């Protein structure tokens, strides 16, 4: 019960004053626990110009348990799995790192920050992380290419 109130509150805050480059809506009006998030690629990153769709799902025990964030749009990024799931590795979302006082807006902003500055040391896609570290130019090219192909603004 308590979780719904808090989620509704955070949702209305996010809808009323969304953080830069992020817009939020419910995937299904009847279900508060599944959100759709549109995130613009941060300027100056190879994802610039793309709009990425993220799925955010909240556990019923929210805020005591962390939400999970995944990319529905394919993205070339060391911290996002390169498969159908598009799972994202965010430090603050790990169960032992999560704090009930963290807000969803902070999570989303952190996710966007991760697009601007990938963290190759925490990577899930080791190959991309390797490339990010050693061949930055090539990485930028591929990421830009993928953004154009998958996340082009309709």
Partner 1 sequence: MSTMDLQEFLASEATHDRDDLVDLRALDFVSSYDSHLMCPICHCPFVEPVRLQCDHVFCYKCLQSAITIFRSADTDEFPCPSCRTPTSRVSTSVPRLLINMCDEIQVQCPLQAEGCAEVLPRGHVQSHVDKYCGYRLVPCPDDSCEKTIRKKDLQSEERCLHGYFRCSRCEEDVMEKDYEEHDEELCPSLETSCVDCGTTLPQRELKKHVDTCPDVVSPCSASKYGCPVKIRRADSAIHEQICPLVSMGPYFEAQNTRLNSLELTMRHLQQRNEIFEDGMANIRTTLLESARAGRGSNRRRSLTEDDMNPTRSEDDESAERSSNVFSSNATTYLLSLHESLREEVNQVSHALTDLDARASMTIMNECLRIKEDMAHTNAAVNSVRLQVQWLMNPRLHNGARTGGIRSNTATPGNETARSQLTSTSAPGSSSAAGSSLGPLRPRRPSDSGREGTKL
For partner 1, give the closer residue by CB, 99 or 153.
99
**How far is the C-alpha of 41 from the C-alpha of 26, rounded, in Å?**
21
Find the binding residues for partner 1 in span 71-130 (CB under 8 A). 99-101, 103
Q: From the candidates 89, 104, 107, 108, give the one annotated as an active-site residue.
A: 89
Residue 107, CA atoms < 13 Å, CB-side half-sphere: 31
Check binding of 6 to partner 1 (CB under 8 A): yes
Measured from the CB of residue 29, what is the shortest distance to partner 1 in angstroms?
20
List, in sequence order, every residue forming a beta bridge with 54; answer none if it has no partner: 37, 71
Which of 115, 104, 135, 33 has its CA nearest to residue 73? Answer: 115
**Residue whose entry in the numeric block shows the structure tokens 């990319």:** 71
For partner 1, give the closer residue by CB, 51 or 93.
93
- Site for partner 1, rule CB under 8 A: 2, 5-6, 9-10, 61, 63-65, 99-101, 103
């Amino acid at each position: 019960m308590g979780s719904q109130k808090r989620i509704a509150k955070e949702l209305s805050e996010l809808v009323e004053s969304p953080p830069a480059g992020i817009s939020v809506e419910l995937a299904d009006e009847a279900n508060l626990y599944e959100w759709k998030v549109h995130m613009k690629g941060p300027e100056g990153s190879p994802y610039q110009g793309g709009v990425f769709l993220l799925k955010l799902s909240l556990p019923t025990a929210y805020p005591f348990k962390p939400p999970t964030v995944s990319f529905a749009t394919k993205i070339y990024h060391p911290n996002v799995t390169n498969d159908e799931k598009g799972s994202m590795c965010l430090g603050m979302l790990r169960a032992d790192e999560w704090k009930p006082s963290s807000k969803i807006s902070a999570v989303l902003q952190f996710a966007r920050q991760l697009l601007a500055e990938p963290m190759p040391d925490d990577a899930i896609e080791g190959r991309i992380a390797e490339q990010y570290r050693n061949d930055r130019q090539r990485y930028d090219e591929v990421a830009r290419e993928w953004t154009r192909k998958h996340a082009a603004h309709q």
